[in-house]
């Protein structure tokens, strides 16, 4: 091992994991982890669900306690990287200091796409990205009577379920025609629409907003695209994210919907890797097209791949994407990527809200979406990890059982 | 603070103090017990926090239910005393409990 120093920019899910995995792999050099958020590195998924409901405490968000960073010799710098000096292999920090690297890892994540309407600057309008967002939002969510959620994606719907559970009237505005349209099949969207409606959530599809009205600096209404005023004391939006690629852009690295990396997660500069939400990588499960995924799995598995490569064990990144979201009493788990699916087979019972949707493209299984069917999800991860031989006809047969098929078709 | 003992597959033993209300998974990862990647951070979505509750302590914990049980079906080398440690919440009763780690989590 010849690298004396690895510098990681971004102390989120991916950045933390690179540091931890490097030590686990026996890396003995210097590790500097630069993060611009206060406190110790933490996980985001509970921010829009369990943490907002007070079901888990702030310490439960942390990946590790403070002493981990000392004993593992991971130097955690609370600072912002403001430039990369590639010629001299240094990262310039906002504080004015500079850190030298032999290898640089960019794990800067993404920020929420801002809501482009007047009134978005009012203090009761929230995106949820950081612990600070969730801490500011939590007391308002508990007190809110009328909540308007903009965007029926994962985070918007997770929050809608939380707000409904806390007793608010919840109204969701969505430009598309169904919930989570970009990520899940029609069948799964429909199940979640019905479940949210049963919790009291009201949906307005194909509907945007023109502005948010305030009264004495407080949100009082949301004006819909078609001119209705929805009463509101809290607005939460989740309308997608923008990768934090500015640092890389200014350093002249290749950019393509995020920082462009090759199959081993190297940028156009071989001394710099990028991964996690900010990286656009040739995705095996998406016909090797450059793809940016926003998930814990993607951040962790890519971090392990980068650490392994830095320790002299390179391998093209190929991990199967998987994801989960918790909404009310529903756990949706997705294995694989359903992009461009052309047929589905539905297993289970819609009434019991225990359903798996198998998504096929050209009769090849590409993704399995499971709602409250963890066994199917785990079986699907095993099946999809290899070139799956399951056909739609076979899956549609009476009494077909995914777990049994998996067990019967192991190597 | 209850103390838990984790025994790695190779026999290495770790004594860990946990907080009441904390998950066994977090107590272990906070103490850097190796072999518990816990990828999903405790959301019962990854099955990489699999442990075996020592037979002598089985009466102190409930059998895995619902979604945990389903996930465990696919954990590496599941046994009757398998639990996902993120779903085991530490109580005073567990003081002294012994947990064994599987040879792999994947
Ligand atoms: C509310 C919420 C809920 C989620 N729920 C789920 C879920 O249920 N399941 C799931 O799989 N995924 C979920 N995700 C997605 C998952 O958390 C992300 O995909 C993951 O955190 C990405 O890791 P990352 O390290 O790439 O980015 P991040 O975790 O966002 O970390 C990037 C860090 O870099 C910092 N940074 C950026 N620029 C600089 C700079 N110049 N200098 C220093 N620091 C910098 C940022 O402030 C941030 O702290 C959720 C995300 C959010 C926000
Ligand atoms: S940590 Fe993922 S299932 Fe326990």
Domain with CATH 3.50.50.60 in chain A: 5-45+62-111+242-310, 114-239
C-alpha to C-alpha distance for A397 and A269, rounded to whole angstroms = 51
pLDDT reading at B76 higher than 90: no
User: Average of pLDDT values for A60-80?
Assistant: 97
Domain A114-239 CATH assignment equals 1.10.260.40: no
H or E stretch at A240: none
What's the confidence (pLDDT) of residue B66? 87
Number of domains in chain B: 1
Tell whether B54 is covered by a domain. yes
Q: Which ligand is nearest to the CA of A52?
A: 1
B43 and A324 in contact by Cβ < 8 A?
yes
Contact between residue B24 and residue B18 where contact means Cβ atoms under 8 Å apart: yes
The 3 state secondary structure assigned to A195-224 is: HHHHCCEEEECCCCEEEEEEECCEEEEEEE
Beta-carbon separation of B39 and A372 below 8 A? no
R_g of chain B computed on alpha carbons: 12
pLDDT score recorded for residue B105: 87
Q: A192, A184, A191, A189: which is closest to A337 by C-alpha?
A: A184
pLDDT > 90? residue A136? yes
Whether the Cβ atoms of residue A294 and residue A277 lie closer than 8 Å to each other: yes
Better-scored residue on pLDDT, A141 or B74: A141
Q: Which two tokens stand for residue A225?
A: 């695209």
**pLDDT at position A306, please?**
98
Pick the atom of ligand 1 nearest to A299's CA.
Answer: 23
Interface of B with A (CB under 8 A): 22-23, 26, 29-30, 32, 34, 37, 39-45, 47, 67, 70-71, 73-74
Residues A363-404: pLDDT tens digits? 999 999 999 999 999 999 999 998 878 999 999 999 999 999
**Rounded Cα–Cα distance for residues A165 and A142 (Å):** 10
Domain with CATH 3.30.390.30 in chain A: 329-408
pLDDT in tens, A170-193: 999 999 999 999 999 999 999 999
Output the pLDDT for position A5: 98
| Reported confidence tier of residue A269, pLDDT bands at 50, 70, 90 | very high
For residue A286, report the distance from its CA to the centre of ligand 1, in Å.
22
Helix (H) or strand (E) holding A283: strand A279-283
- Average pLDDT in the A346-352 region? 93
pLDDT at B77: 87
Q: Is A185 on the interface with B (CB under 8 A)?
A: no
| d(C-alpha A50, C-alpha A56), whole Å | 6
Distance A18 CA to ligand 1 centre (A): 14
Residue-wise pLDDT tens digits, A207-258: 999 999 999 999 999 999 999 999 999 999 999 999 999 999 999 999 999 9
Question: Which CATH number belongs to the domain containing residue B21 in this structure?
Answer: 3.10.20.30
What is the rounded CA–CA span in Å between residue A84 and residue A189? 43
Residues 6 or more apart whose Cβ sits within 8 Å of residue A96? none
Contact status, residue A110 vs residue A16, Cβ threshold 8 Å:
no
Does the A329-408 domain belong in CATH 3.20.190.10?
Answer: no
Q: How much is the mean pLDDT over chain A?
A: 97
A361: pLDDT strictly greater than 80: yes
How much is the pLDDT for A388? 77
Nearest CA in chain B to A407: B74
Tokens describing residue A344: 């589905």
What digits encode the pLDDT tens for the residues A298-313?
999 999 999 999 999 9
DSSP alpha helices (H): ranges in A168-290?
Answer: 186-198, 246-250
The pLDDT, as a whole number, for residue B73 is: 87
Q: In which order are the strands placed within the sheet that holds A330-336?
A: A322-327, A330-336, A364-371, A354-361, A343-349
Tokens representing residue A241 in the block: 């994210």
A 10 A CB-CB count for A180 gives: 23
pLDDT value for A47: 98
Q: Does residue B105 fall inside a structural domain?
A: no
- In three-state secondary structure terms, B91 is coil
Per-residue pLDDT band at B65 (split at 50, 70, 90): confident
Residue nearest to atom 3 of ligand 2 (CA): B44
Tokens linked to A80: 């912002």
Q: In which domain, by residue range, is B60 found?
A: 3-100
CA of B62 to the centre of ligand 2 (A): 17
- The answer to whether A205 and A173 are in contact (CB under 8 A) is no
CA nearest to A378, candidates A299, A322, A328: A322
Looking at residue A52, what is its pLDDT? 95
Residue A1 has pLDDT above 60, yes or no: no
3-state secondary structure of A117: coil
Q: Does residue B42 form part of some domain?
A: yes
Instruction: Let me know how long chain B is.
Output: 106
Long-range (24+ apart) CB contacts under 8 A made by A79-82 are A79/A34, A79/A35, A79/A36, A80/A34, A80/A36, A81/A9, A81/A34, A81/A36, A81/A108, A81/A247, A82/A247
Cβ–Cβ < 8 Å for A325, A157: yes
- Provide CATH code, domain A5-45+62-111+242-310: 3.50.50.60
What pLDDT shows up at residue A353? Answer: 94
């Amino acid at each position: 091992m010849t690298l004396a120093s690895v510098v990681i920019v971004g102390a989120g899910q991916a950045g933390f994991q690179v540091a931890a995995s490097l030590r686990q792999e026996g890396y003995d050099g210097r590790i500097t982890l630069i993060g611009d958020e206060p406190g110790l590195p933490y996980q985001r998924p509970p921010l829009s669900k369990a943490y907002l409901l007070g079901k888990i405490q702030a310490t439960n968000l942390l990946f590790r306690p403070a002493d981990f960073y000392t004993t593992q010799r991971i130097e955690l710098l609370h600072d912002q990287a403001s430039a990369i000096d590639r010629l001299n292999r240094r990262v310039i920090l906002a504080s004015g200091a500079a850190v030298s690297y032999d290898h640089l890892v960019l794990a800067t994540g993404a920020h929420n796409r801002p809501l482009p309407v007047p009134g978005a600057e009012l203090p009761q309008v929230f995106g949820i990205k950081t612990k600070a967002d969730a801490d500011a939002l939590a007391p308002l969510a508990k007190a809110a009577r009328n909540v308007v959620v903009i965007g029926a994606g994962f985070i918007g719907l997770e929050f809608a379920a939380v707000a409904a559970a806390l007793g608010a009237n919840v109204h969701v505005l969505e430009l598309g025609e169904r919930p989570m349209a970009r990520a899940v099949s029609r069948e799964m969207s429909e199940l979640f629409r019905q479940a949210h409606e049963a919790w009291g959530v009201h949906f307005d599809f194909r509907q945007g907003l023109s502005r948010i009205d305030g009264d004495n600096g407080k949100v009082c209404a949301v004006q819909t695209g078609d001119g209705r005023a929805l009463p509101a004391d809290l607005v939460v939006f989740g309308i997608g994210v923008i990768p934090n690629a500015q640092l890389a852009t200014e350093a002249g690295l290749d950019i393509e919907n995020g920082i462009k990396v090759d199959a081993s997660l190297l940028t156009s500069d071989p001394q710099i890797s990028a991964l996690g939400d900010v990286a656009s990588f040739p995705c095996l499960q998406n016909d090797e097209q450059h793809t940016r995924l926003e998930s814990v799995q993607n951040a962790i598995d890519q971090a392990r791949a980068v650490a392994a490569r830095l320790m002299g064990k390179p391998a093209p990144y190929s991990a199967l994407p998987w994801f989960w979201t918790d909404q009310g009493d529903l756990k949706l788990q997705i294995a694989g990527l359903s992009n461009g699916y052309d047929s589905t087979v539905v297993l289970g019972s819609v009434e019991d809200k225990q359903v798996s949707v198998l998504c096929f493209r050209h009769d090849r299984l590409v993704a399995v979406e499971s709602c409250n069917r963890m066994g199917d999800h785990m079986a699907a991860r095993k099946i999809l990890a290899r070139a799956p031989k399951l056909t739609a006809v076979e899956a549609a047969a009476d009494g077909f059982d995914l777990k049994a098929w998996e067990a019967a078709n192991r190597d | 603070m209850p103390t838990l003992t984790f025994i790695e597959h190779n026999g290495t033993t770790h004594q860990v103090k946990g907080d009441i209300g904390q998950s066994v998974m977090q107590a272990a990862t906070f103490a850097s017990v190796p072999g518990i990647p816990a990828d999903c951070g405790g959301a019962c979505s990854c099955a990489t926090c699999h442990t075996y509750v020592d037979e002598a302590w089985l009466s102190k914990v409930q059998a895995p239910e619902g979604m945990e049980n389903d996930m465990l079906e696919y954990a590496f080398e599941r046994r009757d005393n398998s639990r996902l440690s993120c779903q085991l919440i530490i109580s005073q009763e567990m003081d002294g409990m012994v947990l064994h780690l599987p040879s792999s989590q994947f």
